[in-house]
């Protein structure tokens, strides 16, 4: 039994490596599907803006309200904007938004491609001379790579707005003072690693969703299985990528 699990894991890893090679190779082929890429950026980005806005705003409010009692105890209320800004932009914002997108985007891609696979639409594309990897996979992964960082930046901004709202409700501070304190504490060591993480998160979300949907082969039941597996796998990869990037960043900045 352990040998079978190990062998299945190796086969799955090999399939993912081959799938990645196919994705990378088709990026540079002629006839790139720009229209489909723009459509996917709209579906992934614009269609997710509502939940992202709500999540970012509430995240800022909750983080501010949770930290206020402790900060008041030490007489450090003026540091709340800085604390919210650094914690959200450096770590909490990218991870929370990526996990939400894993649940929404990765599951949607997995279910969509799995449904196309079950109904033999992908095979029909191949027979008709179209390139299903370039049309279905490359466009979705690139759209995730582009839109997940943009959604994270927007959510970070909404978190600061939420933090300001919570601060105003419980204290007396001007918008100029709040956002000056929140933004002046940031430097490139906060922004660049966070941006780099979101790009990797976007790739993981798009790649896992496409791989699970594109390789499903268990009939109609595979649609739900692909969606569920895409969410779980993408979420695990997000946590792993975050841990690796944090470790590498700390070793570079503080070594």
| pLDDT tens, residue by residue, 234-253 | 999 999 999 999 888 888 77
pLDDT for the residue numbered 203: 95
Rg from Cα positions in the chain = 21
Digit-coded pLDDT (tens) for 28-83: 888 788 899 999 999 998 888 999 999 999 999 999 888 888 887 777 777 888 88
Whether 92 and 59 have beta carbons less than 8 Å apart is answered as: yes
CA within 13 Å, CB half, 70? 8
Digit-coded pLDDT (tens) for 70-125: 887 777 777 888 888 999 998 899 999 999 999 999 999 988 988 888 888 888 88
User: Residue 252's CB: how many other CB atoms inside 10 A?
Assistant: 10
User: Residue 176's CB: how many other CB atoms inside 10 A?
Assistant: 8
pLDDT for the residue numbered 237: 94
Residue-averaged pLDDT of the chain: 87
| Sign of the torsion angle spanned by Cα atoms 90, 243, 56, 154 | positive
Tell me the whole-structure pTM to 2 decimals: 0.91
Helix axes 139-170, 34-45, angle to 10 degrees: 30
Residues 217 and 131: their CA atoms lie apart, in Å, by 20
Residues 131 and 128: their CA atoms lie apart, in Å, by 9
Non-local (6+) Cβ contacts of 94 within 8 A are 152, 194, 197, 198, 201, 242
Using pLDDT thresholds of 50, 70 and 90, give the confidence band for residue 218. low
Q: Which two tokens stand for residue 70?
A: 């402790």
Digit-coded pLDDT (tens) for 1-23: 566 666 776 777 888 888 888 88
Residues 117 and 120: their CA atoms lie apart, in Å, by 5
DSSP state, 89? I
């Amino acid at each position: 039994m352990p040998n079978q699990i190990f062998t299945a894991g190796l086969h799955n890893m090999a399939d993912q490596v081959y799938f990645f090679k196919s994705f990378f190779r088709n990026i540079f082929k002629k006839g790139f599907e720009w229209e489909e890429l723009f459509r996917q950026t709209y579906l992934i980005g614009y269609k997710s803006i509502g939940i992202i806005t709500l999540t970012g705003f509430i995240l800022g409010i909750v983080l501010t309200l949770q930290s206020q009692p402790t900060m008041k105890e030490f007489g450090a209320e003026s540091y709340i904007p800085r604390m919210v800004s650094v914690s959200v932009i450096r770590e909490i914002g990218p991870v929370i938004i990526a996990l939400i997108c894993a649940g929404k985007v990765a599951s949607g891609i997995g279910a969509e491609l799995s449904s196309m696979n079950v109904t033999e639409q992908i095979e029909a594309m191949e027979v008709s001379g179209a390139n299903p990897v370039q049309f279905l996979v490359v466009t979705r992964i690139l759209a995730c790579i582009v839109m997940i960082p943009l959604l994270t930046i927007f959510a970070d901004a909404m978190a600061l707005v939420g933090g300001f709202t919570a601060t105003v409700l419980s204290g007396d501070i001007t918008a100029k003072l709040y956002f000056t304190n929140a933004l002046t504490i940031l430097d490139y060591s906060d922004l660049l690693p966070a941006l780099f993480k979101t790009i990797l998160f976007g790739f993981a979300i798009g790649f896992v969703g496409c791989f699970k949907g594109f390789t499903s082969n268990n009939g109609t039941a595979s649609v739900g299985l692909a969606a569920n597996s895409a969410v779980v796998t993408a979420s695990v990869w997000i946590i792993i990528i975050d841990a690796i990037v944090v470790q590498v960043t700390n070793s570079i900045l503080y070594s």
